[in-house]
Structure 1
Amino acid sequence: MIKGFKEFILRGNVIDLAVAVVIGAAFTLIVTAIVNGLINPLIAMVFNASSLDAVGWTVTSLDGETEVFFGFGMILGAIINFVAVAVVVYFVFVYPMNIWKERAAAKAGIAEEEASDLPTEQELLVQIRDLLATQPRA
């Protein structure tokens, strides 16, 4: 049991995932600071509010005495934060990694055209199934 756990931990994808989580958290803090310090105040200026959290509307409840605030500014801020994080992750991690993989494939002599000519995993499984079906059973 301990040996299996050791093999699991020492696999490369577990270490890669841990690094990705740490780097993602660090980038999230940076992007959140940029959004809160630069983008949210600009949007708050457009809506003439002191903060993006103050953007919304107030509605009187059905009893006529209580007021309820619907703050769509907070939702807008969360959406902007998510999109900003996604853009940073794509252009800092995903896009360069895709270019690196293409270059590595080109160096290995495997072009995308050649790779697309290869059968898919599903096609290979169908061929194996058909071959097994033609063999006599013991």
Structure 2
Amino acid sequence: MLKDFKEFIAKGNVIDLAVAVIIGAAFATIVSSLTDEIIMPVVGAIFGGADFSNYFILLNTPDGYEGSPTDYAALKEAGAAMIGYGAFITAIINFVILAFIIFVMVRYVKKLTAKEEAAAPPAGPSEVDLLTEIRDLLKK
């Protein structure tokens, strides 16, 4: 069983997949930073707030909470019931940006592979064609 596992891990597809997952996670962090640090402050400024992720609807405060009812982080830490629509919208924007970048990358790779296939020399005759030609020559 250990030998089979080693063979499975040594296959190129598994290694490629592992590398893709690691790079994807790092890339998602970059996109998240782009969204949180550049895009969402602009969106927040347009809608009148400096930090869009702090937009929420407070449903109820926990018993004994004496902090500010507008402090999202403190309310979340205290366990208040809230609908954090700003954080949700930020996550949606993260997803759309990431999906668009992946779409552009896949499209680019498809174009490259199409050019390589078009540039490849045409394949020679098939085995059947060659055998037919040899047979015909032998008959003559």
Aligned to 2:34: 34
The DSSP-based 3-state class of the residue aligned with 2:49 is coil
> Which ranges in structure 1 are unaligned for 5 or more consecutive residues?
62-66, 111-138
Question: Partner of 1:113 in structure 2?
Answer: none
Structure with more relative contact order (C-alpha pairs < 8 Å, separation 6 or more): 2
- 1:114 is aligned to none
State the 4+ residue runs in structure 1 displaced beyond 4 angstroms: 58-61
Alignment TM-score, normalising by the size of structure 2: 0.63
Asked whether 1:107 is paired with 2:127, we answer no
What are the superposed Cα offsets for residues 36-55 of structure 1, whole Å, 9 maximum, x if unpaired? 11111111112212311222
CA RMSD of aligned residues (A): 2.4
Is the 1:57–1:69 contact (alpha carbons within 8 Å) kept by the matching residues of 2?
yes
Distance 2:43 2:97 in 1: 15
Cα shift readout 1:9-65 (whole Å, capped 9, x = no counterpart): 12111111011111111111111111011111111112212311222444579xxxx
**In 2, Cα distance between the equivalents of 1:58 and 1:14?**
46
For 1:60 and 1:12, the matched residues in 2 are separated by 53
Bigger Rg, which one: 2
1:61-112 per-position Cα deviation (integer Å, ceiling 9, x unaligned) = 9xxxxx9643211110000011111122222x312221122123223457xx
In percent, how many aligned pairs have the same letter?
38
Give 1:95's aligned residue.
Answer: 107
Tell me the SS of whatever aligns to 2:108. helix
In structure 2, the CA distance between the partners of 1:5 and 1:70, relative to structure 1 (3 Å rule), is closer
Structure 2's unaligned 5+ residue stretches are 62-79, 123-140
Aligned to 2:77: none
2:88 to 60, 72, 75: 75
Distance 1:48 1:39 in 2: 14
TM-score (norm 1): 0.63
Closer/same/farther in 2, CA of residues 107 and 54 from structure 1, 3 Å limit: same
The 3-state SS of whatever aligns with 1:50 is coil
CA–CA separation in structure 1 for the residues paired with 2:5 and 2:116: 32
